[in-house]
Amino acid sequence: MTRIPKAEFARRRRALMGEMAAGSIAILPAAPVRHRNRDIEYAYRQDSDFQYLTGFPEPEAVLALIPGREYGEYVLFCREKDPEVELWEGERVGPEDAVRHYGADDAFPISDIHDILPGLIEGRERVYYAIGANPDFDRQLFDWINLIRAKANQGAQPPKELVALDPLIHEARLFKTAAEIRVIREAAAISVQAHRRAMQACRAGLREYHLEAELDYAFRKGGARMTAYGSIVASGRNACIMHYQRNDALLKDGDLVLIDAGCELDCYASDVTRTFPVSGVFSPEQKVLYEIVLAANEAAFGYIAPGRNWDEAHAATVRIITEGLVDLGLLRGTVDALIEQGAYREFYMHRAGHWLGLDVHDVGDYRIGDEWRMLEPGMAMTVEPGIYVHPDNRNVARKWRGIGIRIEDNVVVNRQGYEVLTDGVPKAVDEIERLMADARRATE
Ligand code: GLY
Ligand code: MN
Ligand code: MN
């Protein structure tokens, strides 16, 4: 069971059915089990849309929503109870408890889906479905529809339209409820503890994965069994690789280490980055670049409030980073022209943030037509400006090369403006140095 109340899942399904045209059915499969090698499976992670609508934690399940169906609008197909299999693989919910605990109006064994689902589709004008998202299931669905077509001469009515289901769900997912915000806040709080722990444990001579171990310990100790994405622990020049995953380099005095890591709680993500010196003290070059990124991070919050558009915070970070790089001589020219040309992209090649939710890069449109989307209460996002000086950049003085810095926080828009969920990890230079110095003193 998840921290999201059962009644909220029912509200989500009701809202979706309210958006569907009359005479329709929505069909959504659970995420399949994926194999890592031979008979070893990856840790199972439910499909985010399926999770959003059901909270049902198992693979081999299919949701059907049939607005107006007399015998129940929410039908779930799932694995049957089987004591012999459960002895090896763990408990299954089973159709009876799917009704009792997960709010299904009707639940059937997944093995019966071929006999039952075509009958539920038959006579419905439209099928809402995430077309192309799962090729195996696409084929399956078309087989069922063909089965109905084959009986047309007996009066069977196949559906006439396939409609994309995901845009409807994704628009709803963009607006987080109070219960969802509580879960994201809790995930962020666990990640805050993990980042503090890694900063405190950092010593030259350790390897990046030793800090990853500190993160993993804190995540699980805090109650989050999974990370929301592969943790990035990138020291020195590795910080200039955006999706660095090796995490095996030696931590050296004089280098910075960038940690981008967040846990997942009940499928909700947190996504936090801090950058700090291996030695516990920033060098002058590291500090001056760091202060620019920090100023950009802090300035962005001034543009997060209802009525601001999605791009304003990003634009603020671009201006501060461009100004800072000009001041230091890493960029040459006038700030406006450099922004216009996008010259900052050599050093700051990503956007200042993204939506956050059941997916770390969460769903929801950033633009409506030609316009940037306006921020509204309930939207959750990251703020994550950065500066990365490529190690081989010959246009800048050697002392800057190979420095990579990002500072990433998680934020929820509310009526007053915003709430930062991750300010428990220090980000000011003196606060970071103090936390690290205190930790070293304590272990001397
Ligand atoms: N960790 C992925 C990101 O920051 O967007
Ligand atoms: Mn991140
Ligand atoms: Mn992010």
Over residues 295-313, mean pLDDT: 98
What Rg value do the Cα atoms of the chain yield, rounded? Answer: 25
Provide the percentage of residues in the chain whose pLDDT is more than 70.
100
Residues with a beta carbon under 5 angstroms from ion ligand 2: 260, 271, 408
CA-nearest residue for atom 5, ligand 1, is 361
Residue that is written with structure tokens 């329709």 in the block: 24
The catalytic residues are: 39, 243, 260, 271, 350, 354, 361, 384, 388, 406, 408
Ligand 1, residue 260: give the atom nearest the CA: 1
pLDDT > 90? residue 1: no
- Under the banding of pLDDT at 50, 70 and 90, the label for residue 412 is very high
Same domain, 129 and 197: no
Asked whether residue 90 is domain-assigned, the answer is yes
- Under the banding of pLDDT at 50, 70 and 90, the label for residue 133 is very high
Q: Token digits for 112?
A: 């019966």
Asked whether residue 130 is domain-assigned, the answer is yes
Asked whether residue 404 is domain-assigned, the answer is yes
Distance 381 CA to ligand 1 centre (A): 11
Per-residue confidence (pLDDT) for residue 397, from 0 to 100: 97
Same domain, 228 and 250: yes
Q: How far apart are CA 169 and CA 88, in angstroms?
A: 35
Over residues 259-277, mean pLDDT: 99
Over residues 314-332, mean pLDDT: 98
Residue that is written with structure tokens 């012999």 in the block: 84
Query: What range does the domain containing 38 cover?
Result: 6-173
Ligand 1, residue 232: give the atom nearest the CA: 1
pLDDT > 90? residue 149: yes
Q: Token digits for 195?
A: 């980042």
**What is the per-residue pLDDT across 4-40, written as a single tens digit (0 to 9) for each?**
999 999 999 999 999 999 999 999 999 999 999 999 9
Domain boundary among 148, 173, 198: 173
Domain count of the chain? 2
Distance of CA 371 to the CA centre of its chain: 24
Same domain, 373 and 437: yes
Single-letter amino acid, residue 373: R
Distance 306 CA to ligand 3 centre (A): 21
Same domain, 399 and 358: yes
Asked whether residue 91 is domain-assigned, the answer is yes
Per-residue burial over 193-212, b if 16 or more Cβ lie within 10 Å, else e, is bbbbbbbbbbbeebebebbb
pLDDT averaged over every residue in the chain: 98
Over residues 169-197, mean pLDDT: 98
Per-residue burial over 135-163, b if 16 or more Cβ lie within 10 Å, else e, is eebeebbeebbebbeeeeeeebebbeeeb
Domain boundary among 130, 154, 173: 173
**What is the per-residue pLDDT across 37-63, written as a single tens digit (0 to 9) for each?**
999 999 999 999 999 999 999 999 999
**What is the per-residue pLDDT across 342-400, written as a single tens digit (0 to 9) for each?**
999 999 999 999 999 999 999 999 999 999 999 999 999 999 999 999 999 999 999 99
- Site to probe by mutation for ligand 1, drawn from 260, 355, 356 as the one with most ligand atoms within 8 Å of Cβ, is 260
Distance 298 CA to ligand 1 centre (A): 18
Same domain, 153 and 278: no
pLDDT > 90? residue 416: yes
Q: How far apart are CA 426 and CA 444, in angstroms?
A: 22
Pocket of ligand 1 (CB under 6 A): 229, 260, 271, 354, 360, 384, 408
Per-residue confidence (pLDDT) for residue 245, from 0 to 100: 98
Query: 35: exposed, middle or buried (C-beta count within 10 Å: 0-12, 13-18, 19+)?
Result: exposed
Same domain, 390 and 437: yes
Per-residue confidence (pLDDT) for residue 444, from 0 to 100: 83
Cβ neighbors of 189 (< 8 A, separation 6 or more) are: 222, 421, 424
Cα torsion through 313, 318, 323, 327, rounded to 10: 130
Among residues 58, 55, 47, which one has the least CA distance to residue 9? 55
**What is the per-residue pLDDT across 207-222, written as a single tens digit (0 to 9) for each?**
999 999 999 999 999 9
CA-nearest residue for atom 2, ligand 1, is 271
Domain boundary among 173, 205, 223: 173
Asked whether residue 1 is domain-assigned, the answer is no
Ligand 1, residue 361: give the atom nearest the CA: 5
Asked whether residue 376 is domain-assigned, the answer is yes
Ligand 1, residue 408: give the atom nearest the CA: 4
Distance 271 CA to ligand 1 centre (A): 6
Same domain, 154 and 48: yes
Q: CB count, 10 Å around CB of 172?
A: 17
Same domain, 197 and 158: no
Give the CATH number for residue 271.
Answer: 3.90.230.10
pLDDT > 90? residue 180: yes
Same domain, 325 and 436: yes
Distance 359 CA to ligand 2 centre (A): 12
Per-residue confidence (pLDDT) for residue 243, from 0 to 100: 97
Asked whether residue 254 is domain-assigned, the answer is yes
Cβ neighbors of 334 (< 8 A, separation 6 or more) are: none
Same domain, 197 and 157: no
Q: H/E/C letters for each residue in the chain?
A: CCCCCHHHHHHHHHHHHHHCCCCEEEEEECCCCCEEECCEECCCCCCHHHHHHHCCCCCCCEEEECCCCCCCCEEEEECCCCHHHHHHHCCCCHHHHHHHHHCCCEEEEHHHHHHHHHHHHCCCCEEEECCCCCHHHHHHHHHHHHHHHHCHHHCCCCCCEEEECHHHHHHHHCCCCHHHHHHHHHHHHHHHHHHHHHHHHCCCCCEHHHHHHHHHHHHHHCCCCEECCCCEEEEHHHHHCCCCCCCCCECCCCCEEEEEECEEECCEECCEEEEEECCCCCCHHHHHHHHHHHHHHHHHHCCCCCCCEHHHHHHHHHHHHHHHHHHCCCCCCCHHHHHHHCHHHHCCCCCCCCECCCCCCCCCCCEECCEECECCCCCEEEECCEEECCCCCCCCCHHHCCCEEECEEEEEECCCCEEECCCCCCCCHHHHHHHHHHHHHHHC
**What is the per-residue pLDDT across 379-395, written as a single tens digit (0 to 9) for each?**
999 999 999 999 999 99
Same domain, 155 and 191: no
Give the CATH number for residue 24.
Answer: 3.40.350.10
Per-residue confidence (pLDDT) for residue 178, from 0 to 100: 98
Same domain, 75 and 213: no
pLDDT > 90? residue 135: yes
Helix 6-19 and helix 94-102, axial crossing angle in degrees, nearest 10 = 90
CA-to-CA separations, 123 to 17, 119, 152, in angstroms, rounded: 17, 8, 11
